Chain A
Amino acid sequence: MNEILQGLVQAFWLVISLDTELIAISLRSLYVTLTALLISTLVAFPLAALIVVTRFRFRRVVIAILNALMGLPPVVVGLLVYIIFSRSGPLGVLGLLYTTSAMIIAQTVIITPLIASVAHQSMRELWADYRDLLISINTSKPQRIGTLMWDSKRALITACLAGFGRGIGEVGAIMIVGGNIDNATRVLTTAISLETSRGDFSLALALGFVLISLALSVSFATHWFGKTERGGLW
């Protein structure tokens, strides 16, 4: 009990004193997840909008696959990315394994189906509203996609927050492909896991504080967006 209390006090001190290691790890976490989120957004949103405004043969299949991918266990994603980038794997020559790039790739794979699915859901509802009007105004397909994305921007921001939450708290995949190397690929979640097994609770708890405050800000922001959206303030 005493140990934990001591850990808490030290953790608090680490946060307040802006401990360099703590900051480096936190920034790396943010870098990995935000980069993955950016790439996911660029892929997922236009793709989701395209699926909404286009009738093609395997539309339902694509949507089903998207939803299934959302349920992929991150550890399995990590394993697959590991195999692909391992020295004897198809992309082994790139030498990306145990780098933040590999971690970004793994997180992108994890986040993309999630935010694509959320985005698809909301843009499909909007399209049901807009369809006749946009066809009547003789909009081009890119214009339809642009209009849907713009007018569902709140839902898309919410999707981003969900994606960020999923990425920042994820440990399985980045542990496998990043290797939790000190000063290179160590991020909040992998560091917590390591320090806990080592019994160094103070750093683990300090990292935990940072992670919790990030996660809490995300859920507050999500709640706030959801509320204003329901208030009809588009």
Chain B
Amino acid sequence: MGYIELMDISKSYNKQSNVLNGIDLNIEKGEFFVLVGPSGSGKSTLLRMIAGLEEISGGTLKINEKIVNHLPPKDRNLSMVFQNYALYPHLTVEQNILFGLNARKIDKQVQKKRLEETAKLMGLSDLLKRKPRELSGGQRQRVALARAVVSEAPLCLMDEPLSNLDAKLRANMRIEIRRLQKQLGLTMIYVTHDQVEAMTMGDRIMVLNDGVIQQVGEPITLYNKPSNLFVASFIGSPKMNLGKAVLTDDHLIIEEELKIPINSTQIETNIKNKNLIIGIRAENLPLGSNGEETYEIEVVNVEQLGNETLVSFEVGSELWTAKWLGQWLGKVGDKVPVHISIENIHFFDAHTGNLIQAASNTNKQEVVKI
């Protein structure tokens, strides 16, 4: 029994084909739940249905064990932060924050107290008399958050709240939102199309594509055991290297180019001679050293990030990227040895795209943060 339960929820606009299909989901109280997916996958639609701004076409939605399908937004006891913040441009910061409390005719004394607390919490105390247009992007964002906080609703919905901010501010706000959520014990449903945001903020993540759930789980699980090719390539940056492969008796042949010897104990036998797609993360393609099985590759691009180096090379028709710690000073055209280990390879069914076997080596010793 979760705090929010979605049972076989579906949605179609104007009686056309479904934009969401069979969504089954439980969200626990106090959880930071992230909805992630590419543009047009139906994230906003799902969030707006939970908020009550959009009609639910099929299925049941429960909040706090009560069916709420029919309830208008104001009776669902939640707050929402919109992508463009939806601040009232003609009202001051103070009036913006108090708009909801005023609408609900909450006692003036209580309003004042809550305003003071919230403004202090969000660092807005000095800005209360300003209009939204006199604020910076980050400050507007904080006003939008303050409006959600001041309502004291236990459930908070956010639709891509950071997408209008620059990268540095975004990193700050990620931490601020996360801290606020823990501090107030809010249940949060957070929509983003940015997998970094999803990985860094979520207790659990749901990956959505074309209105269908791809996978629900903890960030690390999604990273280590992506249940299909979509999740594999969506989560992680740079994205997972993929390639067609076939498994013979003692070799794995990738893109008819790389031939990796295996011993049969490492692989489930039932995938032999099937059409496979294999995946390997960029950080699992280290520069080869002596005494290891290595493959010669030709560098086609080098990206220096300062603390690490991204090196691209071609494998058959695919462009793969390796991530090496530190500053590697090679050049385009160099031939370098790369080590590929069978424990780091994920196996996917080429037809269905589903995971057959995840990599047995899970990077536990490394910090998986980007």
A binds B: no
Binding site for B on A (CB under 8 A): none
